[in-house]
């Protein structure tokens, strides 16, 4: 019996949020500018991911939702852990017209508000 296996390489493709730059709190914007991790309140939103001091969640797929928001399928790595988790997040444009985004996890808990980085 002859067995033939063909392996097809598929490049990893990440989803991108249509935002004009980086958004974060003070620690997150500092991290975006310098690469330094200062403050465990770090929150940074980029076109491809959401970062905190201990977690990095990358967008796998984005779905438009109501109220200027997107639902994101994410894979997350966690500080000190050797595994990756799969989850959902919601990224919503600030409803008050401020140049900022609110970030929520799949349970609706807020990760925080991320303003436009300088």
Comparing C-alpha atoms, which of 91, 99, 114 is closest to residue 43?
Answer: 114
Rounded CA gap, 65 and 85, in Å? 23
* 92 band by pLDDT with thresholds 50, 70 and 90: very high
Rounded CA gap, 48 and 8, in Å? 25
Backbone angles phi, psi at 33, to 5 degrees: -80, -35
Burial class (CB in 10 A: 0-12, 13-18, 19+), 23: buried
pTM for the predicted model, two decimal places: 0.86
Instruction: Say yes or no to pLDDT of 58 above 80.
Output: yes
Instruction: Say yes or no to pLDDT of 1 above 70.
Output: no
């Amino acid at each position: 019996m002859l067995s033939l296996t063909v392996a097809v390489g598929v490049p990893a493709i990440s989803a991108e949020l249509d935002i004009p730059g980086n958004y974060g709190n003070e620690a997150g914007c500092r991290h975006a500018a310098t690469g330094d991790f200062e403050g465990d309140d770090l929150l940074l939103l980029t076109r491809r991911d959401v970062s905190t001091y201990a977690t990095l969640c990358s967008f796998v797929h984005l779905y438009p939702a109501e109220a200027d928001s997107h639902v994101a399928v994410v894979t997350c790595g966690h500080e000190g852990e050797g595994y990756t988790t799969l989850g959902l997040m919601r990224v919503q444009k600030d409803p008050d017209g401020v140049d900022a985004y609110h970030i929520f996890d799949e349970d609706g808990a807020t990760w925080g508000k991320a303003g436009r980085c300088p």
